[in-house]
Amino acid sequence: MIMAGVGWWWGGARTDFETGVGWTLDQPVPFSHEHHVAGLGIDCRFCHSGVEHSADAGIPPTYTCMTCHSQVWTNAAILEPVRASFAQNKPIRWNRVVDLPDYVYFNHSIHISKGVGCASCHGEVDRLPLMAKQKPFTMQFCLDCHRDPGPTLRPRSAVFDLHWKRESTTPSAQQMLDFYHIGGRKLTDCTICHR
Amino acid sequence: MTSPIPPFGDPWERRQILKMMAAGLALGGVSGCDGDSDALVPAVMPATDMVPGVPGLFTSASVIGGYAEGILIEHRDGRPVKVAGNPKHPASLGATDVFAQALLLGFYDPDRARGPTLNNRPVGLSHFMTALDKRRQHLAETHGEGFRILTGTVTSPTLAAQIAQLRAVYPGLRWHQWEAVSRDQVRAGAQLAYGRSLETVPRLERANVILAIDSDLLSSAPGHLAYARAFAERRNPARTQHMSRVYAVESMPTLTGLAADHRFAVSPPDMPAVLAGLAAAILRDEPIPDGAPPWLAGVAADLKSHRRGAFIHAGPDQPAETHALVHALNEALEGRGHSFDLLPSAEAAPLDQRASLTDLVRGMESGAVDTLLILGGNPAFTAPVDLGFEAALRKVAFSVSLADEPNETSAAATWHIPEAHPFEAWGDARAFDGSVAIQQAQALPLYGGRSQNEMLAIFNGDYYPDGYSMLRRAWQDRLAGDQPWRAALMTGVVEGTAAAPVGDALRPEAAAALPKAEKSAGVTVLFRPDPHLLDGRFANNAWLQELPRPLTKLVWDNPLLVPPALADRLGLAKGDKAALTVDGRRVEAPVWIVPGLADDCVVAQFGFGRRRTGSVGEGAGWDYFQLRRSLGLHDAPAKLEKIPGRHVLASTDRRGLLTETEREAALARQSTLASFLADAQVLKSPGAAVSVTLYDQPPAQSADMAWGMSIDLNACIGCNACIVACQAENNIPVVGKEQVAREREMHWLRIDLDEGSQFQPVLCMHCEEAPCEVVCPVGATVHDAEGLNGMVYNRCIGTRFCANNCPYKVRRFNFMAFSAEEKRPAQSRNPEVTVRARGVMEKCTFCVQRIAAARIQADIENRPIRDGELKTACQSACPTQAFTFGNIRDPDAEVSRRKASPLTYAMLGELNTRPRVTYEGRIRNLSTDAEDG
């Protein structure tokens, strides 16, 4: 009984059920990354425009959707919430796929600037017809990289490339660390993320 | 709330279940630990000038008593979250006072007026407009006879121009002004001395000897932030060759007096003898007459021996004759053009405000006034009690009170129109030197408030005024075109508006001016504004209510301040009740004993005892305006007697808890200039420090980045701006009087007043060998590689052992759910800092959120953090630059230079905690002639 209890306590938090990895969330509009990114070739930054400048990558305003959908799929029933939002000036309320606790302060811009790709944390979203977490976003997940960022880093040109993989020609992990000037500061200090 | 159970088998996420439970519990009346789940809500139309998550800065001005201090307001996602000083504004130089910081809380105050009222019943604005339209027809018929406007002190060129325009339309219009914190005597003194109202602007960086007579130079004079900066430049002998010498002569300790080298307590009846002595010595080269205090000869001689570099300043509570005489003395000492300048007054229409208000009340009583517009202020509460303003106001047929909250004046007026908060209004105002700052609106009015400019436009027939276009039009000539206008908004100052010194000659009458000597049979009561509430306008501002007063560290109350001798004679102890009678009127209030007060003086700090204000200010303190008559605005003869009863008073002064040995530990070290010049190491500890530590090994240190701070005690004047800035930046909750009485105040930064004369800011020392870190059972307080002692709130389980172990007592514990219970919208808080829950310990973090922001920016740009790029909130707010923060591994950093000063010492350094915060001890430039009285 005790062993089962300990097992439940230890293992439970690591299951997909708890972390939500792979479990899609219902959204007001069933937005398909697969169609928009793989199908149409839209770059991440077209919608998530704050990612290089701000802590917050940003969810696109209704205006961004309407830049295309005022011209294509203009009467699709599936897009009714978008048109309604635009017409009534009421924002669309998306459900958070990645919901970090309030005491964690994550900054997108520094990660992008230091060669962490979108796909490193959010996965290859262009394979997803509906958005789901691809990584657990537990503190362990963050620490795994913060303890040794080198293998995860990519060249600047590959940060927004969802299918980049390490090859033999890719610079070594240590070379990536040197290029991005990482290693001087202790990335596992509590005060880096918690304040 | 997140979406309901999705239909296609998507799971309940664990947090969603908890949140549903929490919501259910909340509905059931019990709030859970988890808040509402947050949906991701973008905008519909993107804001073109705003990136979500990136702060923006806008210039504006904080206007108190008519005078502007430039500020920068930080916005996050379209809402103001923090105020900082504007480095380019002459009255700020990057610093703020407590009022500018507290403006933010006032903007989000839920007790602000929500809409117009007619005879205290809510009505729509259109109702007012209709009534006003009819009234204006009446005014047109009578040519404005009976039309009066009452404002505070006005420096705004646009407002003055609007009043002039209105007078052109209604020739019978008269403009009255009234400020409870009266500068009438300053104006009258200049009138006597020079024939018109002039502004004395000291150049303290060039003053070698300063005599401050009941002076507000460092505390509340217009321009006090700039004066404080210049003052501090000459006070640290490790950084200046020529340390100034400052004498203070005053009845009640002021910030200037506490910063002085010699402070003499003189009661008001004895002040004329001092001035007569100065006049004899300096104007006529005669010996000091008998009856003057013994130290006066030395002071006069010191002033005379520093011609051109001597400066005398008298505070606004001194009579006009004193001011005139001081003008004459300053001219005789040849300081003009060197240690001070004379500038034209920044006020648009300087006049005798007491006479102006008396005139208005006479008119109201006789029925001559039928239309009255009161722009801001609260005259029904602050007017001299013998005038009977409130009763007279009720007689006016059509009175409009433009006020930010329902107050005493709006209750007695016909109409109450909500006043726009300074963050909601476009306007302009002058600083002490005449420079104009444009006040930018930060948000559309939250409650439909109108600005003073807009009210005047409405009275002039423009019923739907737009504050922005009105201001733009007013500046069209001076700032023609888009470029100059934007430049003025970006810098925060309109270029070329600072006044040049005037050439007015001193009138001969000034030298003969002498205040009357009035002896009182009983005591003399000194009426002074509460340092944080002023005339009561900030009574509903919780930050200012809970801010410990510099001298007494009292919060939420304004007892009568009495000197120890008087208290002994009457058998009064702290908290005992007493009755103060002035001219037949009586107020019963507790007393507080203040050593340093002149004999037989009682200080009554007005601004409390509001009869009608929001929930914060209600019931706080006693109303001394009931005793303040129009011919006794500053001081008056009074009677004080003990009555039965006591009252609990809350003060954050804990020095009474120190033991004898602790007191001798010399927490705030001082010495004299003579000793320092003889031995520069005079403040260093004689013995060796304890070598034992609580650690086996020191924490790992980064080689190139180590944060440290140096606090200069020569510069700290005790103004408290740093405390409010810290409170605003770090979402520090207000706890209320009862909790402060239980020693549970939450301010991360406190300012101790050591030995009644030395201010010392105390904050987390970020000790390298921190006693707090070893005792935390869950590792909630940890040391990072750059030297910060960090708090990880989510780990804290509230054992409080860390606070127990801290020798500096700088840790604060959330005994109650203070943040949750604050009446403050979530949007008003700084999003970069966690809001702490109940049961969590907190303390100064060296503004780790600012460190993170600076480091991220520097890393993105691939460069090191520049020295001075990153300022903690306290450092940024301080007018005298007492705090210096930076990287101590950088030998060129300002903080390294300051730490290298011979005056540097670590507080309780003998405990071997190795604090990263060090102090530069205070040096007093004592005169060999004068001995403290």
Whether B614 and B667 share a structural domain: no
Q: Return d(Cα B485, Cα B680) in angstroms, integer.
A: 52
Cβ-defined contact of A195 to B849 (cutoff 8 Å):
yes
- Cα within 13 Å of Cα(B700), Cβ side: 9
* B-chain residues near A103 (CB < 8 A): 792-794, 834
Where are the extended beta strands (E) located within B621-740? 635-646, 650-651, 670-672, 707-712
| Poorest-pLDDT segment among B21-35, B86-100, B503-517, B802-816 | B21-35
Residue B515 has a pLDDT of 87
Looking at residue B746, which CATH number applies to its domain?
Answer: 3.30.70.20
Residue B32 has a pLDDT of 33
> Which stretch of DSSP H or E encloses residue B267?
none
Residue B452 has pLDDT above 50, yes or no: yes
* B-chain residues near A70 (CB < 8 A): none
Looking at residue B273, which CATH number applies to its domain?
Answer: 3.40.228.10
Which residues does residue B200 pair with via DSSP β-bridges, in sequence order? Answer: B342
Q: What is the dihedral of CA B249, B252, B255, B256, to 10 degrees?
A: -10
B 743-802 residues inside an 8 A Cβ radius of A: 782, 784-786, 788, 790-794
Residue B8 has pLDDT above 70, yes or no: no
| Poorest-pLDDT segment among A128-132, B423-427, B549-553, B664-668 | B664-668
Question: Rounded to the nearest 5 degrees, what angle is found at the Cα of B417, between the Cα atoms of B411 and B419?
Answer: 110
* A-chain residues near B39 (CB < 8 A): 93-96
Residue B579 has pLDDT above 80, yes or no: yes
- At A36, give phi and psi (nearest 5°): -70, -35
CA B282 from chain center: how many Å? Answer: 35
CA B715, B716, B720, B722 torsion-angle sign: positive
Provide mean pLDDT across the span B482-502: 95
Nearest CB to B785; choose among A59, A90, A189: A189
Residue B688 has a pLDDT of 64
Residue B127 has a pLDDT of 96
> Which stretch of DSSP H or E encloses residue B601?
strand B601-606
Whether B639 and B668 share a structural domain: no
Nearest CB to B40; choose among A96, A109, A195: A96
Whether B664 and B621 share a structural domain: no
Where are the extended beta strands (E) located within B183-309? 198-202, 209-213, 245-250, 262-265
- At B118, give phi and psi (nearest 5°): -120, 120
pLDDT (tens digit, 9 = 90+) per residue, B87-103?
999 999 999 999 999 99
Residue B368 has pLDDT above 60, yes or no: yes
Whether B647 and B711 share a structural domain: no
Provide mean pLDDT across the span B394-403: 97
> Which stretch of DSSP H or E encloses residue B71?
strand B67-76
Residue B30 has a pLDDT of 33
Residue B583 has pLDDT above 80, yes or no: yes
Q: Report residue B18's pLDDT band, with 50, 70 and 90 as the boundaries.
A: very low
Closest residue on chain B to A18 (Cα): B14
Whether B852 and B766 share a structural domain: yes
Last residue of a domain, one of B310, B327, B344: B344
Residue B798 has pLDDT above 60, yes or no: yes
8-state DSSP, B78: T
Reduce the DSSP state of residue B305 to 3 states and report it: coil
Residue of B11, B847, B239, B700 whose CA lies nearest to A23: B11
Interacting residues of B725 by C-beta distance below 8 A, sequence separation 6+: B84, B96, B101, B873, B874, B876, B877
Q: Return d(Cα A64, Cα A95) in angstroms, integer.
A: 18
Interacting residues of B550 by C-beta distance below 8 A, sequence separation 6+: B255, B258, B531, B718, B719, B720, B751, B753, B759
Whether B779 and B901 share a structural domain: yes
Q: Is residue B627 in a domain?
A: yes
pLDDT (tens digit, 9 = 90+) per residue, B171-184?
999 999 999 999 99
Contact B209, B309 (CB under 8 A): yes
Provide mean pLDDT across the span A160-170: 92
Residue B637 has pLDDT above 60, yes or no: yes
Residue B693 has a pLDDT of 81
CA A24 from chain center: how many Å? Answer: 14
Q: Return d(Cα B788, Cα B873) in angstroms, integer.
A: 16
What is the pLDDT of chain B when averaged over all its residues?
A: 92
Q: Return d(Cα B32, Cα B35) in angstroms, integer.
A: 7
Whether B776 and B860 share a structural domain: yes
Helices within B28-111 (DSSP H only): 98-107
Cβ-defined contact of A58 to B702 (cutoff 8 Å):
no
Q: Which amino acid is located at B78 in the chain?
A: G
Residue A163 has a pLDDT of 94
Q: Report residue B513's pLDDT band, with 50, 70 and 90 as the boundaries.
A: confident
Q: Cα dist. A52→A115, A116, A148, A179, B94 in Å?
A: 11, 11, 23, 18, 30
Query: Which token pair is B768?
Result: 């390298």
Q: Report residue B49's pLDDT band, with 50, 70 and 90 as the boundaries.
A: confident
Q: Return d(Cα B906, Cα B151) in angstroms, integer.
A: 50
The answer to whether residue B626 neighbours chain A at the CB level (below 8 Å) is no
CB atoms within 10 A of CB B171: 10
Residue B897 has pLDDT above 90, yes or no: yes
Nearest CB to B859; choose among A20, A110, A186: A110
Q: Is residue B289 in a domain?
A: yes
Share of chain B above pLDDT 90, in %: 85
Nearest CB to B38; choose among A64, A96, A185: A96
* B-chain residues near A25 (CB < 8 A): 6, 10, 13
The answer to whether residue B49 neighbours chain A at the CB level (below 8 Å) is no
| Poorest-pLDDT segment among B119-123, B446-450, B645-649, B656-660 | B656-660
* B-chain residues near A186 (CB < 8 A): 700, 702, 784-785
8-state DSSP, B696: S
Residue B232 has pLDDT above 90, yes or no: yes
Q: Is residue B886 in a domain?
A: yes
Longest CA pairwise span in chain A (Å):
62
Tell me the whole-structure pTM to 2 decimals.
0.93
> Which stretch of DSSP H or E encloses residue A46?
helix A44-47
Whether B909 and B778 share a structural domain: yes
Whether B645 and B787 share a structural domain: no
Interacting residues of B19 by C-beta distance below 8 A, sequence separation 6+: B1, B2, B34, B35, B36, B37
Contact B717, B759 (CB under 8 A): yes
Where are the extended beta strands (E) located within B119-177? 121-122, 147-151, 174-177
Do strands B427-430 and B436-439 pair parallel, antiparallel, or not at all (unpaired)? antiparallel
Provide mean pLDDT across the span B245-262: 96
Residue B1 has a pLDDT of 38
- At B258, give phi and psi (nearest 5°): -75, -25
* A-chain residues near B8 (CB < 8 A): 26
Quick one: B168 exposed, middle or buried, by C-beta within 10 A (0-12, 13-18, 19+)?
Answer: exposed
Q: Is residue B104 in a domain?
A: no
| Poorest-pLDDT segment among A10-19, B92-101, B491-500, B718-727 | A10-19
Provide mean pLDDT across the span B504-522: 87
Mutation target for A interface from B40, B796, B872: give the one with most A CBs within 10 A. Answer: B40
Query: Which token pair is A103?
Result: 């005491």
The answer to whether residue B704 neighbours chain A at the CB level (below 8 Å) is yes
Reduce the DSSP state of residue B129 to 3 states and report it: helix
pLDDT (tens digit, 9 = 90+) per residue, A102-152?
899 999 999 999 999 999 999 999 999 999 999 999 999 999 999 999 999
Contact B369, B396 (CB under 8 A): yes
Q: Cα dist. B230→B203, B227, B284, B399, B561 in Å?
A: 7, 5, 31, 45, 31
Residue B519 has a pLDDT of 78
ipTM value: 0.94
Residue B815 has a pLDDT of 97
Q: Return d(Cα B210, Cα B223) in angstroms, integer.
A: 17
Which letter, b or e, does each residue of B412-441 get, where b requires 16 or more Cβ atoms within 10 Å of its Cβ? Answer: bbbbbbbbbbbbbbbbbbbbbbbbbbbbbb
Number of domains into which chain B is organized: 3
Mutation target for A interface from B731, B860, B887: give the one with most A CBs within 10 A. Answer: B860
Q: Cα dist. B248→A132, B257, B295, B307, B475 in Å?
A: 71, 5, 12, 18, 43
Residue B690 has pLDDT above 80, yes or no: no
Nearest CB to A61; choose among B11, B42, B793: B42
Q: Is residue B300 in a domain?
A: yes
Cβ-defined contact of A99 to B38 (cutoff 8 Å):
yes
pLDDT (tens digit, 9 = 90+) per residue, B665-676?
778 899 999 999
* B-chain residues near A63 (CB < 8 A): 43-46
Mutation target for B interface from A180, A191, A193: give the one with most B CBs within 10 A. Answer: A191
Q: Return d(Cα B282, Cα B328) in angstroms, integer.
A: 10
Helices within B811-879 (DSSP H only): 818-821, 848-860, 873-877
Reduce the DSSP state of residue A44 to 3 states and report it: helix
Q: Return d(Cα B312, Cα B122) in angstroms, integer.
A: 52
Q: Report residue B689's pLDDT band, with 50, 70 and 90 as the boundaries.
A: low
Whether B787 and B876 share a structural domain: yes
B 831-870 residues inside an 8 A Cβ radius of A: 832-834, 845, 848-849, 852, 855-856, 859-860, 862
Nearest CB to A26; choose among B3, B41, B786: B3
Residue A39 has pLDDT above 90, yes or no: yes
Cβ-defined contact of B42 to A92 (cutoff 8 Å):
yes
| Poorest-pLDDT segment among A165-174, B382-391, B724-733 | A165-174
Whether B614 and B670 share a structural domain: no
Do strands B841-842 and B812-813 pair parallel, antiparallel, or not at all (unpaired)? antiparallel
> Which stretch of DSSP H or E encloses residue A16?
helix A16-19
Provide mean pLDDT across the span B53-67: 94
Query: Which token pair is A29?
Result: 């509009």
Residue B22 has a pLDDT of 36
Residue B29 has pLDDT above 80, yes or no: no
Residue A157 has pLDDT above 70, yes or no: yes
Cβ-defined contact of B702 to A92 (cutoff 8 Å):
no
The answer to whether residue B675 neighbours chain A at the CB level (below 8 Å) is no
Looking at residue B547, which CATH number applies to its domain?
Answer: 2.40.40.20
Q: Is residue B357 in a domain?
A: no
Closest residue on chain A to B8 (Cα): A26
Q: Return d(Cα B55, Cα B220) in angstroms, integer.
A: 31
Interacting residues of B292 by C-beta distance below 8 A, sequence separation 6+: B273, B274, B276, B277
Nearest-Cα distance to chain B for A15, in Å, is: 11
Quote the domain boundaries for residue B528. Answer: 523-651
Provide mean pLDDT across the span B407-436: 96
Q: What is the dihedral of CA B4, B5, B6, B7, to 10 degrees?
A: -120
Last residue of a domain, one of B344, B370, B401: B344
Nearest CB to B46; choose among A61, A184, A189: A61
CB atoms within 10 A of CB B41: 11
Q: Cα dist. A120→A48, A108, B414 in Å?
A: 16, 12, 66
Q: Is residue B435 in a domain?
A: no
Q: Report residue B6's pLDDT band, with 50, 70 and 90 as the boundaries.
A: very low
Residue A24 has pLDDT above 50, yes or no: yes
Whether B831 and B856 share a structural domain: yes
Last residue of a domain, one of B316, B344, B372: B344
Q: Return d(Cα B266, Cα B598) in angstroms, integer.
A: 5
Residue B742 has pLDDT above 90, yes or no: yes
Q: Is residue B511 in a domain?
A: no
Cβ-defined contact of B784 to A191 (cutoff 8 Å):
yes
